[in-house]
Structure 1
Amino acid sequence: MKSLVILLLTACSVLSINAQNCKGYYYLTNNAEIEMTIFDSKDNASGKTVYKVTRVRNTGDSTISDFTNNYYDRDAQLLTSGEGHFRCYGSGVVLDMKMSIPSMQQMEDIKIPAKPNKAYLDYPAEMQVGQQLKDGLFEMTGKMNGVDVDVSYSVNNRKVAGQEMVTTPAGTWTCYKIAYDIDFEMRMMGAGIPIQFSAVEWFAPGFGTVKSVSMKDGQLVGATLITSVK
């Protein structure tokens, strides 16, 4: 369960902008280091994910960045690492979905193909309360100890539920509150159990995600909070 929480939180583990505001996003600040603290169901800090922006470039009408994400446990021991991409363009921003996958403990031993399927979550520029957002689906095939493993991770029923002010140790922002469902399944040797969660994230226009919570069967599973931007 803990490793599935990490999937949720790093994906959540995830907007109203225009092209002139692209530089405000923390994913588009060259050499930026962003710390997202992870909390368990009892509101205790259980680890953190640190994102480091390694490259920012302009391509046509878009600004694109590459970043790494490293997951640390409560004792500051590095558990998993991954890479992701972020793109800002005239009609919105998109975030690489696979950034959440390497943060799962049960995925540590999976050999990921050089070019897994590309999948992104879209945040439109003209976001409004009540708006339905595009779903996202990430699928990947790898190997664990020589055995084929299929991973399916989908974000569904995304809806802008409201606007709220959120304050964290890193600052204060007016955010869009986005609610959605998560379906996850990892299959080995033809067997797999699908697991469903619900989640909410708070996304600050021109900045990025500052908070998220995840739930299963109406009970809090965990949360994330942005605690540092350098």
Structure 2
Amino acid sequence: MKKLIITMVSLVTVLTIGYAQTCDQFINSGNGKKFVYANLDAKGNNQGSVSYSSVKKDASTLTYHNEVADKNGKTIGTGDFDMTCSGTAIKIDMKSFIPASSSKQFSNMQFEGDGKYLTYPLNLKVGDKLEDGSAVISVMNNGSKFSEMQINMTKRTVENSETVKTDAGTFDCFKITYDSYFKAKIMGIGIPINMKVIEWFAPKLGRFVKSETYRKEKLAGSMVLQSVN
């Protein structure tokens, strides 16, 4: 379970390099697109994939449907979440940060969040300290609460601007780091997982192109954008 938890899907903030991202640009960059990511272990071996397909919900909101697949291509979990542009920031539903392992473990159940969002200013710059994010998410089984997840993201910092090359192309990005805490409780019992995360976000796409997760200062896994269709 821990091996899969480290591949927590992470979304990061909109980058500005020489211009300010607008809500129209945010909506147009994601509407109708499918983003496919490779899920890799510490040695770079393929562990599966995560795909995100988006549709425009309204003038300021994109709804994403994600599918988590194992290395054999079998779907092991799905989910839905919204990303909203307020005019000054992008707000991401905290349910989007549920780990791949939990999508598999609770594949036939429903996730109910407490309405919390992670906020990313549109006018990012190197050195910015971003707001923390936290949420408590209930796992429901036929209307009854089966489990509870806690997600915390703290010490979020825009460290640098970098160019990242993947199979999907070459992108100008902001490098963002933060501390991540995750715990899933079943019958009141849960094991906390503490991680360090580095993410690279591309304004051309309106989302991250690469993320790395570290435990005890060692690389534990990564996600890399493979294609955009």
TM-score range, shorter chain: 0.7 to 0.9
1:181 to 154, 166, 179: 179
* Further displaced range: 141-150 or 125-134: 141-150
- Residue in structure 2 matched with residue 25 of structure 1 by the alignment: 29
Aligned counterparts of 1:152 and 1:45: Cα–Cα separation in 2? 27
Task: Say whether residues 1:90 and 2:87 are aligned partners.
Answer: yes
Task: Say whether residues 1:220 and 2:219 are aligned partners.
Answer: yes
Give the alignment of 1:48-127 within 5 angstroms: 48-58=49-59, 63-101=60-98, 103-105=100-102, 107-108=105-106, 111-112=109-110, 115-127=112-124
- Residue in structure 1 matched with residue 199 of structure 2 by the alignment: 201
1:166 shift after superposition = 0.6
Q: Secondary structure at the match of 1:104?
A: helix
Return closer, same or farther for 1:136/1:53 CA change in 2, 3 Å cut-off: same
Q: Is the 8 A contact 2:90 2:119 kept in 1?
A: yes
Q: Is the 8 A contact 2:106 2:139 kept in 1?
A: no
Give the alignment of 1:119-158 within 5 angstroms: 119-143=116-140, 148-158=146-156
Q: Is the 8 A contact 1:11 1:97 kept in 2?
A: no
- Residue in structure 2 matched with residue 39 of structure 1 by the alignment: 40
Q: What are the ranges of 5 or more consecutive residues in structure 1 without an aligned counterpart?
A: none
Aligned counterparts of 1:52 and 1:186: Cα–Cα separation in 2? 26
Aligned counterparts of 2:74 and 2:109: Cα–Cα separation in 1? 21
Deviation by residue 1:140-182 (Cα, 9 ceiling, x = unmatched): 2235697742210111110001110011111111111000000
Q: Is the 8 A contact 1:81 1:103 kept in 2?
A: no
- Residue in structure 1 matched with residue 170 of structure 2 by the alignment: 172
Q: Is the 8 A contact 2:12 2:199 kept in 1?
A: no
Deviation by residue 1:50-85 (Cα, 9 ceiling, x = unmatched): 111133421xxxx20111000011110110000011
Return closer, same or farther for 1:138/1:36 CA change in 2, 3 Å cut-off: same
* Further displaced range: 13-22 or 126-135: 13-22
What TM-score comes out, normalization by structure 1 length?
A: 0.86
Aligned counterparts of 2:27 and 2:113: Cα–Cα separation in 1? 28
Q: Is the 8 A contact 2:27 2:61 kept in 1?
A: no
Q: Is the 8 A contact 1:38 1:48 kept in 2?
A: yes
Amino acid at match of 2:138: T
Deviation by residue 1:95-124 (Cα, 9 ceiling, x = unmatched): 2221232632464257335x4312222221
Return closer, same or farther for 1:188/1:169 CA change in 2, 3 Å cut-off: same
Amino acid at match of 1:89: S
Aligned counterparts of 1:123 and 1:143: Cα–Cα separation in 2? 29
Q: Is the 8 A contact 2:27 2:56 kept in 1?
A: no
